Amino acid sequence: MPLLQTAEVVVRFGGIHALSGVDLDAEEGCVTGLIGPNGAGKTTTMNVISGLQSPTRGRVFLDGGDITSKSVHKRARLGLARTFQRLEVFGSLSARDNVRVAVELHRRYSRTKVDVEETTLALLERTGIAGLSDQRADTLSTGAARLTELARALATSPRLLLLDEPGSGLDSAESEAFGHLLGELAAEGLGILMVEHDMELVMQVCTRIHVLDFGVKIAEGTPAEIRGDPRVQAAYLGADDEAVPPEELEGAPAGGHQ
Ligand SMILES: Nc1ncnc2c1ncn2[C@@H]1O[C@H](COP(=O)(O)OP(=O)(O)OP(=O)(O)O)[C@@H](O)[C@H]1O
Ligand SMILES: [Mg+2]
C-alpha cells in the first residue's frame, strides 16, 4: 500500500478545471516527482494533499486511511509536512529561531519530551545551515532560506514531505547538494513528493515521476520513461512560458533555466 494516494481528485475554481480526476501515489523511502508546465495543477495537488484546498471530488489517502476531510493540523499530526512555492519563513527571526519555533510547536502537539535546543541544532546541521543560524531569515540567500524552511518541515518528524519547487532560486551547486540531502532523507524512510521545474534535480533524485498538464495526469513512470514519453515532450513544447527544452528533459545541465 502506498504511503500517499490520491483517487480521482477534481478541483474546479469557477469555470477553471484545475484538476480533472488526478490519481497519484508516493511511496515511503523514495522521492516521487510531480512535474508539468505552468498552471498544470501541481500546487493545487499539493494543497489538496496537505488540506489547504478541498477537492470538488475525489479522495486522499495516507497509509490507506482516508484523510480527505481532515484539517491541515490533523494531517500534520498524522505525519504530513510541506514547504511552499513562495517561501514561508519568518523574515525577522534568525534561521535558528525559525527552526526552534517549529520544534517547540511540534513538542507541544506531540507531547514528546525532545530537547528543543538539541533538536534545533541537529536540524540546522542536518540541512547544512548551522553556520548561518544567527542570521535573520530575510537576509539569507534563497538557497539558505529554502533549507531553513526544510528544517522547519523536518521538525515535525514527518512521514511524508511535500516540497513545492524547492530548487527554485538555487544555483547548480546548491541544487546538487539539495538533491543529495533529499536522497539521504529518503534512504532513512521518509516519503517525499516534490514539485520541481529543475529537470536535472528531478532526474537526479526521483524514483518515479507523475506528469500533469492542464489538470490531467498525462504520464507516470521512471525518469527514463518520462524522458522518452512523447506526450510529456509535447506538453512542455506546447507551453508558452517556462517551456523546458527537450534536451533539458533529458537531464542535461539546466543552463539558463530560471
Ligand atoms: N485559488 C485559485 N482560484 C482560481 N484559480 C486558481 C486558484 N489556484 C489556482 N488556480 C488556477 O488553477 C490552475 C492550476 O494552478 P496551479 O497553481 O496548481 O498550477 P501549477 O502547476 O502549480 O503552476 P506553476 O508551475 O506556475 O506553479 C491554473 O489555471 C491557476 O490559474
Ligand atoms: Mg505551482
The span from the CA of 203 to the CA of 198, in Å, is: 9
Count of domains observed in the chain? 2
- Supply the pLDDT for residue 251: 55
Note whether residue 84 is domain-resident: no
Provide the residue range defining the domain that includes 131: 89-157
Tell me, what's the pLDDT at 109? Answer: 83
Q: Looking at the chain, how many residues does it have?
A: 258
CA-nearest of 163, 158, 152, 147 to 97 is 152
> Do 126 and 56 fall within a single domain?
no
Give the residues of the chain that fall short of pLDDT 50: 241, 252-258
Q: Does 51 lie in the same domain as 137?
A: no
Residues with CB under 6 A from ligand 1: 13, 16, 18, 36, 38-44, 85
My answer on whether 175 and 253 are in the same domain is yes
End-of-domain residue from the set 157, 179, 203: 157
Among 124, 157, 190, the domain-final residue is: 157
**32: nearest Cα among 208, 195, 177:** 208
Residue 83, burial from CB neighbour count under 10 angstroms (0-12, 13-18, 19+): buried
Residue 100 lies in a domain: yes
Nearest CA to ligand 1 atom 7: 13
The answer to whether residue 163 is domain-embedded is yes
In this structure, the answer to whether residues 255 and 171 fall within a common structural domain is yes
Quote the pLDDT of residue 239: 59
Predicted pLDDT at 258? 32
Q: What is the pLDDT of residues 215-246, one digit of tens each?
A: 999 999 999 999 999 999 999 876 554 556 55
Q: What pLDDT does residue 232 have?
A: 94
Ligand located closest to 164 CA:
2
Quote the CA–CA distance of 127 and 144 in Å, as a whole number: 9
The CA distances from residue 173 to 32, 87, 100, 167, 253, in Å, are 22, 20, 27, 11, 12
- Which pLDDT value is given to residue 11? 98
Kindly state whether residues 167 and 240 are assigned to the same domain: yes
The structure's pTM equals 0.91
Cβ atoms 68, 78 nearer than 8 A: no
122 contacts: CB under 8 Å, gap ≥ 6: none
pLDDT digits (tens, 9 = 90+) for 145-157: 999 999 999 999 9
Calpha distance 251→203 (Å, rounded) = 6
Substitution site in 22, 44, 50, 244 for ligand 1 pocket (most atoms within 8 Å of beta carbon): 44
All three cell numbers of 6, joined, read 490520491
How is residue 108 written as a grid cell?
Answer: 507541544
Same-domain status, 11 and 71: yes
Give the residue whose CA is nearest to atom 8 of ligand 1: 44
Whether 188 and 251 share a structural domain: yes
Atom 16 (ligand 1): residue with closest C-alpha? Answer: 41
Domain end: 110, 136, 157, which one? Answer: 157
Q: What strands lie across the sheet with 160-164, from one edge to the other?
A: 80-83, 160-164, 191-195, 31-35, 206-213, 216-221
Same domain, 178 and 51: yes
pLDDT in the model for residue 250: 61
16 within domain boundaries = yes
Give the pLDDT confidence score for residue 248 in this predicted structure.
67
Domain check: are 129 and 242 in the same one? no
